[in-house]
Structure 1
Amino acid sequence: MDRKEPGELTGEDEPWMPEGIPARLAADGSASSQRLAALVEYDGTEYAGFQVQRGARTIQQELEQALAVVSGQAVRVVPAGRTDAGVHALGQVLHLEVGWRHSLGDLQRAWNANLPGDIAVRALAPVPATFHARYSARSRVYRYQIDNEPVRRPLVARYAWHVDRPLNVGCMAQAASLLVGRHDLRTFGQAPQGENTVRTVLRAECRSQGALVCIEVEADAFLQHMMRRVVATLVAVGRRRLSVGEFGDIMQARDPRRAAGLAPPHGLCLMAVHYEPGLVDWSLPSWESWQKESCIE
C-alpha cells in the first residue's frame, strides 16, 4: 500500500488503521486523554529541523499531521530537544496527550503507517501527567561522526562529515576530556532566552572505528550549536592547529569567537535521552506475541 502524504485524504479515503479499529477513532469523543512518551528515530536530511516552521518541512509537522490523521485530534508533540536542520536522531523522546482506547501497539503501528519513511515511532509508553520530555530528562547523549578517509565514501556521506586530512584522535580525546564537569560553555553555544550557559558534561569521548571517528558527549543539557562547535574545535586539535591546552583555554574563555567554527549538521545524531529509572518503560509486546494476537482464528 502506498503511503499518502499527511492531509491528502479525500472524502472516500481512510487512513491506515490496525484491523478492527475504525478510522478517525476519536471522533466519537469516547476516548479519554492520556499522557504518553514516544521514542522517535529520524533521518533529518530532508528537514528544516524538528520544530514547526512556516513554509518549511519539519519533523514535528510530520509527526503531528500523521497523528491527527489516525486520532482525529490536533495533538502537539513536545521534544526533549529541538534538533537543527539536517541533524538526525536515534533516540529522540517526545511527550503528548492523546485520546486512544485501543492498545499502544495499535497506535504505534497506525502512526508509523502514516509517517514518511525517514521518521519512525520506535516505542510508546504511558507516563505520569507531570512527565515532560525536556524538563524531566536527566541527560542527553549526542554523537558526531567523521569520515576520516582520504577519499569520501558515498555510503556514509549522509551521516558523517568527510575530513580528508589525517586526525590525531588521541589528542582529540584528551581535549574532549576537558569538557567533563560543570562549566560555563558560552564559547560553544547559546542558551535559550532567560537561561545561563553553565552545563554539566558527564562524559566526553573521542574514539576511532577504522576510518570513522566518533565524538560522543553526554550532558545534562546542550546549548544551541554546542556539539557542532565542540566538534569543529576538536577537529582543529586533531589537525594540530590547536594544542590540547589551547582547547582548554578556548573553553574557559567563554567567547564564541574563539571556537573553530561550526561542524556541518549531517554528522550529528541525538542518540538517547535519559530519565530517572522507572519513569519511562519502553517495553512493548514482542513481534512474536503481536503476530499471535493478530491471527484470525
Structure 2
Amino acid sequence: MSPNKLQDPALLQALQQVLFTEQVPHMLNSAQSAALCKQLSCSVLELAERMLPLAASFAVTPKSHFNVGAIAIDTQQQLFLGANYELAYGPLTGSLHGEQSAIFNALSHQASSIESLVINAAPCGYCRQFMNELENAKDLQIRFNQQNYRLPQLLPESFGPGDLGITAPLHHLALSDAHKPSDFAKASYAPYSHTQSAMFAYQGDKLLAWSCYIENVAFSPSLSPLLTLLSQLNLNHLSLDKVERFELWEHNDNRFSFKQELQNFAEYSEKPMTHHGYSKT
C-alpha cells in the first residue's frame, strides 16, 4: 500500500522503523507488536484497529468490491492479518471471508490460542459460525465499529462442535513434524469427515505457499484449501505470475476430493496442476 492511501503517517513511519521495510506485513510477532505499541503509545487492540486498512489492502473482491480487513491476535500478542478473497469466475460461494483468512494465517504460523479478532466491519453470520469452531470460542473477543463483544453475544444459543460430539475443537494444526506434502494434508482439521487435503503453489522447486482443509460443525463455513492458498499467496505479496504449478495432496480414502475445484482454477489461471494420493502409514 502506498503512503498516500494509508492516511496514518505515524503508523507508516513506525512500521518502517520496526520492520525496516515499506512492504505491508502479513503478521507481527510479539516483539514487533510490543515495539509498535510503545512507539505509538497504544494498546495491542488499538494497534490492530489502526492496521485494519493495511489488512483490507490485501482483499481481492472482483464481485462485491467490499474489502474486509481482519486481524487475529493470539495470547502472545502476535498479530495475523487477513482479508477476503473472491474468485472472479463461478458462483458467489467461491469466496474466502476476511476473518477466515486471518484465522488460517494464525494457524499456519502455529500461533497460540486466538484471543481477539479485530475487523473493519461487522462479521456476517457465516463468519460468526466459523469462529465458533475455535476452542476458546466462548471467550473470544470481537472488535468492530470501535466496540468490543464476546462471540456468545454475537452468536447466542449457538450450534458448536460439542453438539456433534467433538471434544477437541479447533486449536492448532499439527505442523511441528510436517516435512512432506502429505504431512501438511494430515494436519487438516476435519473431525466430521476425516478428510485430509493440502494444496501447494510452487515456482520451480520453491514452495511459495500452502494450505490445508479446515472444517466447521455447520459444514458450509468449512474452509476451502484453494481459497486459503490464494489468500496466503496474496498475504505474502506473491502474484499468480510467480506460480508455475499447483499441487494437491489427498488421502486415498477421502470421502470427497478438491481435485475438480483446483483443476477449474488451474484452467482459469492457465497454470498446470498435479494431484497426488497417499495412504496412511
TM-score, normalised to structure 1's length?
A: 0.24
Structure with greater contact order relative to length (CA < 8 Å, sep ≥ 6): 1
Give the structure with higher Rg (CA). 1
| Greater fraction helix | 2
| Greater fraction strand | 1
